[in-house]
A = this chain, B = another copy of it.
Amino acid sequence: MAVCFSSPVKPTTYFTIRTQPKPKNPIFRCQCSVTTITTTEPQPIYTSVRSFAPATVANLGPGFDFLGCAVDGIGDYVSLRLDPAVHPGEISITDIDGPSKLSKNPLWNCAGIAAIAAMKMLGVRSVGLSLSLEKGLPLGSGLGSSAASAAAACVAVNEMFGGKLKADELVLAGLESEAKVSGYHADNIAPAIMGGFVLIRSYDPLELMRLEFPINKELFFVLVSPEFEAPTKKMRAALPAEVGMPHHVWNCSQAGALVASVLQGDLVGLGKALSSDKIVEPKRAPLIPGMEAVKKAAIEAGAFGCTISGAGPTAVAIVEDEERGRMIGEKMAEAFWREGNLKAAVAVKRLDRVGARLISSIPR
């Protein structure tokens, strides 16, 4: 099914998205609106591209709603090709390898919405595109499944037309999708696109800080996903409307310690901060059977720290060694089974430092 998107009659000649010259400490700022940013319509440089976007862990304990990071080796794939059968300026989703409940209507599909937003920003009007999506991530797992689809899609569109959109502009395109699916939050989509750790500093204008985890240090995530549905809406409803001042100060200080630990590559400090949330995790963990025991098991088995990934139900622990991570993951899965009566899948994955990327392409 091809669905038109409303491209502007003529491209604007000004940049509504203000990008800064690349700073030493990468900070990305742009105004919050998806409008065409190119002065002339870009031409496709490939006949087809294939992209990958990684899973993401948002919140990270005291980083609730403003911090996330990318996890390598699991994520979603998008293949995109020029398709003369699709009306120029339009996009069609031809295949989805994943849950059957995902819509092929691009206006109701994360990949579709983000691809349309990217096409709109680029001002693509003369070619039609076919998109196929391979879901590597389960839905509603707390691993940024929707963000991975959106990130892979908008990066695929951007690469197809010569990569004219910058990281922050791609995040804005992905946010169009996130806003429709799970709320206007960039803590999954930003790291899915940019890789590493990203702090969302503000939304208006969108301002993102990439926090560099030292390149010479290893960081692994133990991801333990139980067979349990933790709908984001229900998990949001569990949050307190107000926070007592002592807990506010505590979580703020832990957020500061978390950021410092990331920048310094301090795994002990990072783990401690990850485990330290006194506001969100205490409300959400009881809604995921076994979660409290899983966290305890992770720490007892030697993880530096453990918390809920995103809105759950996945539990995330951090370690510096893959094999140790597997052992810890088994202990966590055992705890999910023992205390929550839930089967759980274990994955141990490195920090992804790259973000969404082109993985293959066929030139025109």
Contacts and interface: CB of A to CB of B under 8 A. Distances in A.
Interface of A: 24-25, 27, 62-67, 199-202, 209, 211, 239-245, 248-249, 251-261, 263-264, 266, 269, 279
A201 B204 CA distance: 30
A269 B25 CA distance: 10
Contact of A200 (B67, B209, B253): B253
Nearest to A273: B201
Given A242-B242, A243-B242, A256 B199 contact: yes
A255 B268 CA distance: 20
A247 to B, nearest CB: 9
Nearest to A241: B245
Contacts of A27: 266, 269
A211 B266 CA distance: 13
Contacts of A248: 243, 248, 251, 279
B256 A25 contact: no
Contacts of A209: 257, 260, 269
Given A243-B242, A245-B241, A257 B25 contact: no
A72 to B, nearest CB: 23
Nearest to A65: B249
A242 B244 contact: yes
Contacts of A200: 253
17 contacts: A24-B264, A25-B266, A27-B266, A64-B249, A66-B252, A67-B253, A199-B256, A201-B253, A201-B254, A202-B253, A209-B257, A209-B269, A240-B245, A243-B244, A243-B248, A259-B259, A260-B260
A202 B275 CA distance: 14
A50 to B, nearest CB: 34
Most buried by B among A67, A253, A257, A264: A253
